[in-house]
Amino acid sequence: MATVASCCWSAQALAQDTTRAAPPPAAPAPTPTYLLNPSPVINMRFYPSKPALSGYVSGRMTHVVGATGFLLNRGRLTVQVGPKPFFGIKIQGDFSGAQSGKLRADSTVAGFSLTDAYVQLVPPPDWAPAGSVLAQLHPAIVAGQFKTPYSLEYLTSFASLKTVDRSQAVDRLSQKRDIGAMAQVGWVRFATLSGAVVNGEGPNATSNADKSQMLLSRLTITPVSFLALSAKVAREGADHAWGYDGRIVWRALTVEGEGLYRKRATSSTVNLDAGGGYALVAYKILPWLEPVYKYDRYWDTRTTNTGSAVTTASTHSTWNVFGVNLLSSPEWLRLQLDWERRNVEPTPGRTNVYLAQLIAIF
Q: What is the pLDDT of residues 200-248, one digit of tens each?
A: 999 999 999 888 999 999 999 999 999 999 999 999 999 999 999 999 9
Question: Taking the domain 2-361, which CATH number applies?
Answer: 2.40.160.10
Please say whether the beta carbons of 76 and 56 come within 8 A.
Answer: yes
3-state DSSP assignment of residue 341:
strand
What is the CB neighbour count within 10 angstroms for residue 159? 25
pLDDT at res. 108: 59
Least confident of 67-71, 86-90, 101-105, 284-288: 101-105
**Hey, CA dihedral for 7, 8, 13, 14, is it positive or negative?**
positive
Please say whether the beta carbons of 155 and 39 come within 8 A.
Answer: yes
* Averaged pLDDT, 63-89: 95
**Cα 147 off chain centre by:** 7
Written as one string, the DSSP assignment of 15-84 is: PSSS-SPPPPTT--S------SS--S---GGGS-SS-EEEEEEEEEEEEETTEEEEEEEEEEEEEEEEEE
* Tens-digit pLDDT profile for residues 143-185: 999 999 999 999 999 999 999 999 999 999 999 999 999 999 9
pLDDT over 60 (residue 107): no
**Cα(254)–Cα(294) distance, integer angstroms:** 12
